[in-house]
Structure 1
Amino acid sequence: MSGKDRPEGISPTAVEGAPGLWRVDLQRHDLSIEGREVIQSRVEFTPDSPPFKHFHPGEEIICVLQGSLEYTLEGQSPVVCNVGDALTVPYGVHHQARNVGTGVAVELATYVVEKGKPLLTKVE
């Protein structure tokens, strides 16, 4: 997608990872825990971004920076998080997120994951 096709409100350095889902990777470092690394990303959701179920090889710690996002974690009722709200997704838990507002929603996602594994695995 070219820059002119980028939706309004999406960071100019963001890369589209799925339809309507954009990421800006901020940092990636090995941890003092053997075989673990931390990855931190800014994730931007357009209002029409479809949710998709997925999981990570470790914990995901989320803080909503802009807008409102609804998170559905396997076995739990959906929860809406607004600016300043935080949520932790446990290791391997299937989950999905969707923008429930009218503008771009943004989360800061910090992943503490197993090094060398795919950061995200989509669940069909």
Structure 2
Amino acid sequence: MGGQDRPKGISPTAVEGAPGLWRVDLQKHDLSIPGREVIQSRVEFTPDSPPFKHFHPGEEIICVLQGTLEYTLEGQPPVVCNVGDALTVPYGVHHQARNVGNGIAVELATYVVEKGKPLLTKVD
């Protein structure tokens, strides 16, 4: 999976039910907001990774670190983000992302979510 593109020491795990998506959880902490936690992850998308429609129990704040990703948020036209672009996905909004470049695309995803709920729920 393009190991030469991955920083040393980063060992991602496959995202269940999402072929070509790999995630490394970087940190997870309780917040000063009761019942909320922050989870920060590095997410890698292979060029052949299909879109994966899902939602989170809180906000997702995204920054593209590598490549080009197209995000589709429910009820909005697709948005293409390149390196350095940022995007916020509101609480519970169904969305998906796909790699529209040639190599691996990478995002830094910061989730501010309800503690104890699944981070990701797939939408059929």
Common fold by TM > 0.5: yes
Partner of 1:63: 63
Aligned to 1:97: 97
**1:11-66 CA distances to partner (integer Å, 9 max, x unpaired)?**
56777762100001000000000000000000000000001110000000000000
- Seen in structure 2, the aligned counterparts of structure 1 residues 48 and 2 have a Cα distance that, compared at 3 Å, is closer
Deviation at 1:94, TM superposition (A): 0.2
CA offset digits 1:70-105 (Å, max 9, x no partner): 000000000000000000000000000000000000
Change (3 A) 1:27 1:10: closer
- DSSP-derived class of the 2:93 partner: coil
* Structure 2 residues not aligned, in runs of 5+: none
Aligned residues with identical type, % of pairs: 92
Aligned 8 A contact 1:65 1:108 in 2: yes
Q: Give the 3-state SS of the residue equivalent to 1:40 in structure 2.
A: strand
Query: What secondary structure does 2:24 align onto?
Result: strand
The TM-score, its normalising length taken from structure 1, stands at: 0.88
Query: Does structure 2 retain, via aligned residues, the 8 Å contact 1:17–1:23?
Result: no
Is the alpha carbon distance of 1:110 and 1:81 closer, same or farther for their aligned partners in structure 2, counting shifts above 3 Å? same
Q: Residue 25 of structure 1: SS of its match in structure 2?
A: strand
CA contact (8 A) 1:40 1:110 kept: yes
Q: Is the 8 A contact 1:3 1:12 kept in 2?
A: no
What is the root-mean-square deviation in Å for CA atoms of aligned residues? Answer: 3.6
* TM-aligned CA deviation for residue 9 of structure 1: 13
Task: Give the Cα separation in 2 of the matches to 1:48 and 1:9.
Answer: 24
Structure 1 stretches of at least 4 aligned residues deviating more than 3 Å after TM superposition:
1-17
Deviates more, 1:79-88 or 1:10-19: 10-19
Quickly say closer, same or farther: Cα 1:32–1:120, change in 2 above 3 A: same
Q: What is the number of residues matched between the two proteins?
A: 124
